[in-house]
């Protein structure tokens, strides 16, 4: 699975999760990432968890990924494309 289809699949899942009026827990989001990547990020044991090799790699890349997301959010906000708190009132995201 390429990066683009994986990102689109995760985006659709997250959007679906937002439609349900409950907060997504960290565990649910972690499972979505694991499902999208197709590999576990944590070894879950009865009383502890441990990062897998994939988890360690993703953790190392997390600051860069978060910086890209922050930049995209700032861009979308500056263009007025960001939805309101109810996530239902975003204006059309047409390119300018």
Q: How does pLDDT run across 11-42, given as a tens digit for each residue? A: 666 666 555 434 457 788 889 999 999 999 99
C-beta separation of 42 from 52 below 8 A: yes
C-beta separation of 15 from 24 below 8 A: no
Segment 44-48 shows an average pLDDT of 90
* Coil, strand or helix at 21: coil
Measured distance CA(31)–CA(17) in Å, rounded: 13
Domain 3-76 grouped into CATH 1.20.120: no
Measured distance CA(17)–CA(21) in Å, rounded: 8
Q: Where are the domains of the chain?
A: 3-76
pTM of the entire predicted model: 0.52
Measured distance CA(4)–CA(7) in Å, rounded: 5
């Amino acid at each position: 699975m390429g990066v683009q289809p994986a990102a689109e699949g995760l985006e659709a899942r997250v959007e679906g999760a937002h439609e349900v009026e409950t907060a997504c827990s960290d565990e649910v989001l972690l499972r979505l990432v694991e499902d999208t990547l197709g590999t576990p990020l944590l070894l879950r044991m009865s009383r502890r968890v441990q990062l897998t090799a994939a988890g360690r790699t993703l953790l190392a890349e997390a600051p860069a990924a978060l910086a890209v997301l922050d930049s995209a959010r700032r861009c979308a906000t500056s263009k007025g494309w960001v939805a309101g708190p109810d996530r239902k009132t975003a204006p059309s995201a047409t390119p300018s």
